[in-house]
Structure 1
Amino acid sequence: MAERRQYEELARQLSAIGAVKRGLARILPPECPTGSAAVLTLLDRHGPMRMSRLAELLSVDMSVTSRHVAHVAQYGWIDRSPDPCDRRSRILRLTADGRAKLAELSETYVRALAGCLADWSDEEVDQFNAYLARLRDGFDDFRSAPARPTHQPDTAATPT
């Protein structure tokens, strides 16, 4: 098992990833901020869904999700059709224009990453991808695990 100092360094490095994400966000076109890009990506990855499911996948409040959805719908990148099971709800679907925008965003990201990692070998990129996926999977497992009780001092041995 790794030592505490290694986890502390990992925490510092993960904080620095925020700068990388902000840098990537700056290369997005102004009409498609990160929230909009996330909506398009999730609809592409998971297919049509209700807004409640999208909010869950985005890990944000419904009001935030609603703003993102309204934005991408305004550009015609998604379709909001009535849910046949519950006419009060809407099913969100990526449109052809949305797929085209997502392809454009993907190309922009790929070019940026290829430029930043130009001196990395194919094996290093593959290894980094594998480590990031493993870290993400570990956090998925951590989030789905039952809450762990906080440590309480053992008072049973203390005289009263």
Structure 2
Amino acid sequence: MAGQAQFEELVRQLGAIGAVKRDLRRILPPDCPAGAAGVLSLLGRRGDMRMSGLAELLSLDMSVISRHVAHLAAHGWIERLPDPADKRSRILRLTPAGTNLLDELYRRATRLLAERLGDWSDDEIGRLIRLLKRLHADFGECRTAPDRHPAPLKPGA
């Protein structure tokens, strides 16, 4: 197992991912803020779902999800359909316009990564993909609220 110094460096390097995320936010269309794009992307990957499912997967308060959903629906990118299992609830679904926007967002992100990582070899990109997939699998998709003050790593742990 890696030592504390390696985990400390990993914490520093993961913090640098913020720069990547900022650049990815900069390429979003002006009428599609990052939070709404995140909801759109999750619906694209996971399919139709309730707002409560989005809130859980994104670890966001329902009021925040409601604002994102209202924005996306107002632009015609998602639709809110009655839930057959519970008529009081709504199922969220991408519209064709939402699917088109999501495709455009992926094209923009792909272009940005191709520009920034153009001097990386296929092997390096492949290794990064494999490691990020492993990291994602180890943390899981459903994010729980982290402890605000995690216990420090013990030397030799």
- Give the structure-2-normalised TM-score: 0.87
Asked which structure has the greater RCO (Cα within 8 Å, sep 6+), the reply is: 2
Query: Any idea what SS the aligned residue of 2:140 has?
Result: helix
Q: How far apart are 1:27 and its partner, in Å?
A: 1.2
Render the CA deviation track for 1:119-154: whole Å, top value 9, x for unaligned: 00111111001101111111229x78xxxxx99xxx
Q: How far apart are 1:101 and its partner, in Å?
A: 0.2
Residue matched to 1:85: 85
Residue matched to 1:20: 20
Structure 1 alignment gaps of length 5 or more: 145-149, 152-160
The amino acid that maps onto 1:39 is V
How many residue pairs align between the two structures?
Answer: 146
Residue matched to 1:39: 39
Residue matched to 1:56: 56
The amino acid that maps onto 1:43 is L
The amino acid that maps onto 2:123 is E
Measure the CA separation in 2 of the matches of 1:86 and 1:120: 50
Residues 2-151 of structure 1 correspond to what in structure 2 (within 5 A)? 2-140=2-140
Q: How far apart are 1:111 and its partner, in Å?
A: 0.1
Measure the CA separation in 1 of the matches of 2:76 and 2:64: 19
Measure the CA separation in 2 of the matches of 1:136 and 1:46: 16
Q: How far apart are 1:19 and its partner, in Å?
A: 1.5
Structure 2 alignment gaps of length 5 or more: 145-149, 152-157
Query: Any idea what SS the aligned residue of 2:88 has?
Result: strand
Residue range with higher mean Cα deviation, 2-11 or 95-104: 2-11
